[in-house]
Structure 1
Amino acid sequence: MFQHLLVLCAGNLCRSPLAEALMRTRLARAGKGIEVASAGLIAAVGEPADEMTCLVAAGHGLDLSGHASRPVDPGLVRRADLVLVMEEAHRRHLLELAPAAAGKVCLLGRWSGGEIPDPYGRGRAAGEAAYDQIAAAVEAWLVRL
């Protein structure tokens, strides 16, 4: 069914790298061979994950030290069987760039509470809250993948 999953946020510095790492880890534990990638709608090329996000991730057993941001491109979207975004605005933005992707773009939090706010620059508590929302969303998607 799904072979390639793409997770998007704005800058590919906080939410999408965290979701990518968590989704990859949980899919591997579940024995599901699904490739997971992340990108950003307004991302620069090659930036490391946000420092606070790395700390939050490490506190939950995830390593984001090898992450390098990248902007979404048509090839990534075409390759993906499912594209998960953090906010409705991300979905609209992506569909302006790639209208043909309409049938495969969903909110990551679709089954667990909706949009996941950006913690960038808002401190550790916001980062932990984002992690909690992302973790709940990943768990909700696992049974559907």
Structure 2
Amino acid sequence: MTPRILFVCTGNICRSPMAEYLLRSRLTDLPDPVVVHSAGVGALNGDPMHPQSLRVLRERGIDGEDFSARYLVADMIGEHDLIVGLSRAHRDDATSKVPMAWRRAVTLRELDHFIRAGGDGVASMQIVDDRNRPELDIDDPMGRPAADFDRLADEIEPIIDRLAGWLRAH
């Protein structure tokens, strides 16, 4: 079975596409592909990725020019095994659209906590005790200087690397 992961943020032009493309770049050599997508709770379908997100990816040798934003709809949630919000609001928006997705909807930091704790599969995912902690959110760099996009990448890249390793192991 091919795992399917959906990253979710607000406009689907900064955080979630950066996570999507970083993860894809880590998994290109797998014999069984992992499907990785992204969407936004307030996205405008067809918008390009933010120029600073493109720059950050380009500096890491990743081409994101083919990206096209997608508005999050219930069907997308149903088509994915793991829904990864870049904030609590994104996770919660996904579960409000598809309440039965609560078992497979997490924030990126919740997922990282699970992986670091030695989690062994989505079906047995144990989430952090307090799912409402503000520290679970990853700040939106939209409207901020280029350095904030660099900080975003520096923040999520190690988490994405751990996720890629976890996917390889499971």
TM-score normalized with structure 1 length:
0.92
Aligned to 1:100: 100
CA distance in 2, matches of 1:121, 1:31: 39
Distance in 1 (CA, whole Å) between partners of 2:107 and 2:2 is: 16
Query: Is the 8 Å Cα contact of residues 7 and 38 (structure 1) preserved in structure 2?
Result: yes
Amino acid at match of 2:35: E
Determine helix, strand or coil for the equivalent of 2:109. Answer: coil
Amino acid at match of 1:48: P
Q: Aligned partner of 1:132: which letter? A: D
Equivalent in the alignment of 1:119: 141
What's the CA shift for 1:30?
5.1
Higher relative contact order (CA 8 A, sep 6+): 1
Does the aligned pair in 2 maintain the 1:6–1:38 contact within 8 Å? yes
Does the 8 Å CA contact 1:2/1:81 hold for their aligned counterparts?
no
SS in 1 for 2:136: coil
Q: What stretches of structure 1 of length at least 5 have no aligned partner?
A: none
Query: 1:62 corresponds to which residue?
Result: 62
**Retained in 1: the 8 A contact 2:9–2:16?**
yes
CA RMSD, Structure 1 to Structure 2 (Å): 1.7
Structure 2 unaligned spans of 5+: 114-134
Q: Deviations over 1:57-105 (max 9, x none)?
A: 1111111111110101111111100011101111112211111110001
One-letter code aligned to 1:42: G
Contact 2:83 2:91 in 1 (8 A): no
Cα distance in 2 for partners of 1:8, 1:71 equals 10
Residue 144 of structure 1 deviates from its aligned partner by 2.4
State the percentage of identical aligned residues: 30
